[in-house]
Amino acid sequence: MNTVRVRRSTPDYREQPTETHSVATELDFYGTYTWCLNAYPDVKDAIQYLGSEIEKLRLDLNDWQTHEVATNIFLLSCGLLHAVEEYLRGPSVRIPGRLMTRLGRGAMWAMDGATRVVEGAANIRLNRSQASLRGWQERWQAGLGDFLSILVKGQPLAPASFAESAARLTELLVSPPLPSDLQAKHVGASTLFRRLDTTHYDIIALGQRFADRFPDRSQAILIVGLRTSGSYFAPLLQACLKAEGYRVVVSLTIHPGKGPGRWERQQLQHCARHGFTALVVDDSPYTAGTIVLALDIVRRAGFSLDKLKALVPYHPARRDCLKVLSDQMVISLEPEQWHKYRLLEPKLVEQRLAEYFQAPDILGVRLVASKAADDFNAHLQSLSSGDRGARLKRVYEVRLERRRGKETRYVLAKSVGWGWLGYHAFLAGHRLSGFVPPILGLRDGIVYMEWYPQPSLVQQGDGARQELIDISASYVAARARGLALSRPPGSGKSIKRHEEGLRLLRKTLGRAYPWFLGHTLMRRRLERQLSRQRSPLPTLIDGKMGRAEWIMGPHGPLKTDYEHHGMGKSELNTTDPAYDLAETILTLALSPEEEHRLIRRYVEMTGDKALEQRLFINKLLAGLWTMSSAQEHLFCKSQPADRQQQLHQQFLSAWNFLTEQTALFCGALRRSSPDVQWRSPLVSLDIDGVLDHRRFGFPSTTADGIEAVSLLGAHGFCVALNTARSVAEVKAYCQAYGFAGGVAEYGSYMWDAVAQRGHVLIGEEARRQLAELRARLRHIPGVFLDDRHQYSIRAFTYQAMPRALLSVLVNALRGFGIGPGTPTPLHPLAIDQLMTELGLDRLSVHKTMNDTTIVAKETDKGVGLTALRDWVLSPDAETIAIGDSDADLPMFRVANRCFAPAQIDCALQARLLGCEIAPHSDQRGLLDIARLLAHPDGRQCSHCSNLRNHWPRDNLFLEILEAADRRPWTTLRRALW
């Protein structure tokens, strides 16, 4: 791996003059928590951090510092407990909720049993080790319970009150040492305290609510926590209920996706036989699926329905998700009753800001109600409403009483986590000074920062574009310098469960292996290859670099939401700054010149010269993550029409970005040919199904496709595209592959890349009718348009992926879609009725598997090919057509010769037009055709033998493209080898 020398100077840190600063006690206190930048410490590190926190109780801490240290001990202790529980449970097949039938559970238990049998004699030693570790777990839970019994009493807290229980935890940390393989495991960060706005006070409030509703303290209670959050929830609730006077309270945790292990199942059955009431606890559910699954697991262990309760805080965006359960079964807490909601009451915020706004001439600080603040809050709410990880945030108008008069400021208070899981916001805010709004302070999991009442850069003109490109490069470089991680959370040769970004890449690139078995066998190799792509400069990345994330400060653009996108549950959890640069290129739609400027500036500031080797794979990740996120938001809940269109644009922009970037990558590998000129014979080449395949969920060619294009160029063939794709895509492909030009949108427009000129092939009336239909379609809910199509209409809707097992497997084999949905065509009856109603007699409809295209009747691919031939050459010039669908039949009719790969869906008609069909499908079929055109006699020349010799070795994506061309049996044989 290449090493990187980091330049420590920070010439682009722009200090902003301000009279606000964090109080010295905060700077000193949070400054000792640099380790918190990594949300996923391993067990060994967590033990070290926990010991350090316990030692701090010996120091002279004030009230809020004692509260923070006690919270950190609770969080780290429960994180350690979760790691032990997962370790004891052992590996298991994760069963999706919809497959957790009796057959699914039986298969899972059988596989667990088979694992124990296979381990044989070694299992005896394993059981002894597990027995010892389970004994440690019980002692740890008891010691933690003593500590939490003090924490649940509430404020004020004194360090001395924790002395005895803390000392017991310290003893357990060092003796006996935990197994070495356990110490290497990562500690799971709870969604409760990392991504949501809940605190341990809310768990205590839920326990008190249960105690009020069920006052019989003699009933025995079993708390069933759902891991990961249940490992944090259950011990605290157990301490709370004991403090409330319940005589028998025990707890265990399960993983619903894995199902209970043998020991966990025995404990559930034991408690059921003895009449316990089971309380299933978890973080705020976004859907009822996990809670319902867990309740069913507990019910099957022997608990009657009247002995089942679910204790969960409601999610702000999904307050009704548990309506499938009876009111008697659910005990919950409304978001407005959460601890942090109360902390944002104006009186409490005013007191807090009085600590932060301190200057000799400031006489007082007062919050005032204002329409401006209300408008800001309404805008912030609209941006995040309905999101699973939306943060609680509020803008306040602050009136400063100065000796010389009054001054108005605006402050944003934002929830960023609880305990050490929120400290990264404070540290990052100070280390990124000049790039983010000035940080006032952090208290009780809420960061306070200055806010500027100005429109976002989305509403700014293009004049700020170059400044934004430069500041983006400087900002990413500043993160690489100031937020470096000493050890990334995903180091190693395999992809960890929380590394969502690499998991998405693995899943997508794994589609190059056509059989499920081959994909499974090649998974470990693919993981090793992706692991080698990790950055030599691991960093807490931003993870969200869109233009809407920037506002204008008094001295230039400032980055908002800088602290919580890159790492956490359901986040990317990638640590390569190249991702932030790739997403900047995507979201700002940078030209090649602008991209070069961005990269050059970043490399100059960091010395990260290996960036270019990692940038393309991060471009893939940025596009795939954006597509997946847009789909998830589109299907997660009902969205207003404008929000649906916004998500559609994000999805389509990412699709286009991936298509163009892979075309540039593949085009750069083609054999260099002489200057592109129009000449005979002219090869008219279709794209979809011929040059490109949607195996990865977006269009891309393969290694055989690259070789075919190189072969045609090396033998003097002039290649022009003839496609349903838009004009913009035809121009991009000509630039990437060196094509002379082409016909776009089913013969509606032709492009001469040699002379850089274009010509429209449809009449004014057809264009008018297209405009009328386009306007009507925009007002139909659930209909989405591809605005790149200027001389035709490409329309589609989105359909959720089917949940049936067989349908899931079929769609996986087809390779379509990224995320929970896929583009689908409009219903033919609906579009026909609309066109009849409007009297659109100059238009016709083409339907594909993914979209509906409306084009002018007066043109098709044959008309386009004839017009292009006459425009750039002459009517007697030789033409050769290559296509694979009935839309290509018109160009087969007018071409001198025509060819098709084996998967052509209209072979009978094509053969009657003289079409020669290749023995292979897709891009391998295109290569067959190219070889036949270059050498009809079947021989090879020197140009043919070395077309791949200059290709780089050890390039992951190129290897994936080569794998996509292999036959299934070849793939399987290589996988087994």
Give the length of the chain: 977
Average pLDDT estimate for 610-634: 92
Q: In which band, very low, low, confident or very high, does the pLDDT at 102 lie, cut at 50, 70 and 90?
A: low
φ, ψ of residue 446 to 5 degrees: the values are -125, 125
pLDDT at 21: 52
Q: Does the pLDDT of residue 105 top 70, yes or no?
A: no
Q: Buried b / exposed e across 811-829, counting CB within 10 Å, b at 16+?
A: ebeebbbbbebbbbbbeee
| Per-residue model confidence (pLDDT) at position 461 | 53
| C-alpha to C-alpha distance for 314 and 335, rounded to whole angstroms | 6
Residues 682-710 have a mean pLDDT of: 95
pLDDT at residue 491, rounded to an integer:
59
- Tell me which residue has tokens 């080898």: 977
What does the pLDDT read at residue 303? 95
Judged against a pLDDT cut of 80, whether residue 958 lies above it is answered with yes
Q: Which two tokens stand for residue 947?
A: 């077309």
Any idea what the CATH number is for the domain that residue 895 is in? 3.40.50.1000
CB 333 within 8 A of CB 209: yes
**What distances in angstroms separate CA 288 from CA 52, 294, 639, 973, one per listed residue?**
39, 10, 19, 43
**Half-sphere exposure (Cβ direction) of 627: Cα atoms closer than 13 Å:** 29
H or E segment at 922?
helix 922-934
What is the average pLDDT value for the chain, to the nearest integer? Answer: 86
Q: Please state, in angstroms and rounded to a whole number, the distance separating the CA atoms of residues 710 and 545.
A: 37
Same domain assignment for residues 464 and 446:
no
User: How many CB atoms neighbour CB 777 within 10 A?
Assistant: 18
* Neighbour-count burial of 974, counting CB atoms closer than 10 A to its CB (0-12 exposed, 13-18 middle, 19+ buried): middle
Decide which of 856, 885, 920 is a domain's last residue: 856
CA 838: distance to chain centroid?
Answer: 42
Q: Which residues of 168-194 are buried (b: 16+ CB within 10 A; e: fewer)?
A: bbeebbeeeebbeebeebbbbbbbbbb
Establish if 160 belongs to a structural domain: yes
Q: Which residues contact 296 (CB under 8 A, 6 or more apart)?
A: 100
Give phi and psi for 808, each to the nearest 5.
-60, -45
Domain stops at, among 429, 450, 471? 450
- DSSP readout, 96-143? PGGG-SHHHHHHHHHHHHHHHHHHTTHHHHHHHHHHHHHHHHHHHHHH
Q: What is the SS3 assignment for 358?
A: coil
Report whether 552 contacts 463 (CB < 8 A): no
pLDDT surpassing 80 at residue 961: yes
The per-residue pLDDT for 89 is 84
**Residue among 398, 368, 369, 393 nearest 382 (CA):** 393
Are 485 and 630 part of one and the same domain? yes
Are residues 719 and 801 both part of a single domain?
no
**According to the model, what pLDDT value does residue 455 have?**
58
Please check whether residues 774 and 825 belong to one and the same domain: yes
Where residue 6 falls among pLDDT bands split at 50, 70, 90?
very low
Query: Which sign does the torsion angle of CA 56, 59, 65, 70 carry?
Result: positive
The residue with greater pLDDT, 102 or 957, is: 957
Q: How confident is the model at residue 388 (pLDDT cuts 50, 70, 90)?
A: low
Q: pLDDT band for position 125 (50/70/90)? A: very low
Q: Give the pLDDT of residue 117.
A: 42
Q: Are 439 and 449 in contact (CB under 8 A)?
A: yes
Residue corresponding to tokens 């493209």: 961
Structural domain that includes position 373: 340-450
Half-sphere exposure of 350 (CA within 13 A, CB side): 13
Same domain for 368 and 321: no
In a domain, 656, yes or no: no
Measured CA to CA, the distance from residue 311 to residue 355 in angstroms comes to 37
Domain identity same for 165 and 219 = no
Task: Answer yes or no: is pLDDT of 106 > 60.
Answer: no
763-790 pLDDT tens trace: 999 999 999 999 999 999 889 999 999 9
Tell whether 735 is covered by a domain: yes
Note the pLDDT of residue 320: 80
Q: Which two tokens stand for residue 734?
A: 């000509």
How many domains is the chain partitioned into structurally?
6
How far apart are alpha carbons 335 and 320 in whole angstroms? Answer: 13
The mean per-residue pLDDT over the stretch 260-277 comes to 93
Q: Are 309 and 359 in contact (CB under 8 A)?
A: no
Indicate if the pLDDT at residue 53 is higher than 90: yes
Last residue of a domain, one of 168, 187, 206: 187
H helices within 357-509, ranges in order?
371-384, 423-431, 465-482, 500-509
- Does 256 map to a domain? yes
Cα→Cα distances 112→92, 116, 118, 444, Å: 6, 7, 10, 43
Helices (H), 779-906: 805-814, 828-838, 861-872, 889-894
CATH code, 636: 3.90.1200
Residue 386 pLDDT class (50, 70, 90 cuts): low
Distance between CA atoms of residues 359 and 362, nearest Å? 5
The amino acid that residue 974 corresponds to is R
Distance CA 620, CA 637 (A): 27
Per-residue pLDDT band for 805 (boundaries 50, 70, 90) equals very low
What is the pLDDT, as a whole number, of residue 195? 84
405: its two tokens: 């008069």
CB atoms within 10 A of CB 304: 11
What is the predicted pLDDT for the residue at 116? Answer: 44
- pLDDT value for 375: 86
**How far is it, in rounded angstroms, from Cα 175 to Cα 172?**
5
Q: Indicate yes or no: pTM above 0.85.
A: yes
104 and 86 within one domain: yes
Q: What local confidence, expressed as pLDDT, does residue 22 receive? A: 60
Average confidence (pLDDT) over 794-814: 63
Looking at residue 516, what is its pLDDT? Answer: 63
Pair (631, 680) in one structural domain: no
Q: Could you give the 3-state DSSP secondary structure of residue 638?
A: coil
Task: Tell me the C-alpha distance between 438 and 435, whole Å.
Answer: 9
Cis before 177 (ω within 30): no
Tell me the average pLDDT across 138-147: 93
Q: What is the rounded average pLDDT of the residues 602-607?
A: 94
Cα separation of the two ends of the chain:
26
Q: CA-to-CA distance for 964 and 977, rounded, in angstroms?
A: 18
* 398/533 same-domain check: no
Question: Of 459 and 56, which is predicted with more confidence?
Answer: 56
Sign of the CA dihedral running 306, 312, 314, 319 = negative
The model's confidence at residue 383, banded by pLDDT at 50, 70 and 90, is: low
Chain centroid offset of residue 615 CA: 17
- The reply to whether 8 falls in a domain is no
* The pLDDT of residue 207: 95
DSSP-assigned beta bridge partners for residue 42: 186
| Antiparallel, parallel or unpaired: β 897-900 and 879-882 | parallel
**pLDDT above 60: residue 838:** yes
What is the pLDDT at residue 120? 41
Is 20 within the bounds of a domain? no
- Is pLDDT of 109 > 70? no
Least confident among 198-207, 225-234, 447-456: 447-456
* Residue with token string 């010996």: 58
- Between CA 136 and CA 144, with CA 141 as vertex, the angle to 5 degrees is 120
Q: Using the structure block, give the residue that is written with the tokens 């407990």.
A: 81
Lowest-confidence region among 95-104, 140-149, 700-709, 912-921: 95-104
Q: Determine, yes or no, domain membership for 436.
A: yes
pLDDT band at 2 (very low <50, low <70, confident <90, very high): very low
Candidate ranges 112-126, 170-184, 194-208; pick with highest mean pLDDT: 194-208
pLDDT in the model for residue 128: 66
Same domain, 741 and 890: yes
Q: What is the pLDDT of residue 92?
A: 61
Q: How far apart are CA 194 and CA 423, in angstroms?
A: 10
Are 280 and 310 in contact by the 8 Å Cβ rule? The answer is: yes
pLDDT at 93 over 70: no
CATH of the domain at 312: 3.40.50.2020
**pLDDT for 637:** 66
Same domain, 729 and 757: yes
Lowest mean pLDDT among 11-15, 268-272, 525-529, 570-574: 11-15
Does 954 reside within a domain?
no
- Contact (Cβ atoms closer than 8 angstroms) between residue 373 and residue 479: no
Residue 819 in this model has a pLDDT that exceeds 80: no
Instruction: Kindly indicate the confidence band of residue 45, based on its pLDDT and cuts at 50, 70 and 90.
Output: very high
Higher pLDDT, 569 or 325: 325
Does residue 769 share a domain with residue 757? no
Q: What is the per-residue pLDDT for 589?
A: 93
Contact at 8 Å (CB) between 559 and 436? yes
Contact partners, residue 849, CB within 8 Å, separation at least 6: 816, 825
What pLDDT score was predicted for residue 701? 96
Q: pLDDT category, 7, cuts 50, 70, 90?
A: very low
pLDDT value for 8: 33
pLDDT of 296 above 90: yes
3-state secondary structure of 566: coil
What 587-594 contacts at long range (C-beta under 8 Å, 24+ apart), as own/partner pairs, is 587/545, 587/546, 587/547, 587/653, 588/465, 588/468, 588/469, 588/472, 588/547, 589/653, 589/657, 590/469, 594/469
Q: How far apart are CA 472 and CA 485, in angstroms?
A: 20
Rounded mean pLDDT, 942-961: 85
Cα–Cα distance measured from residue 521 to residue 420, given in angstroms and rounded to the nearest whole number: 40
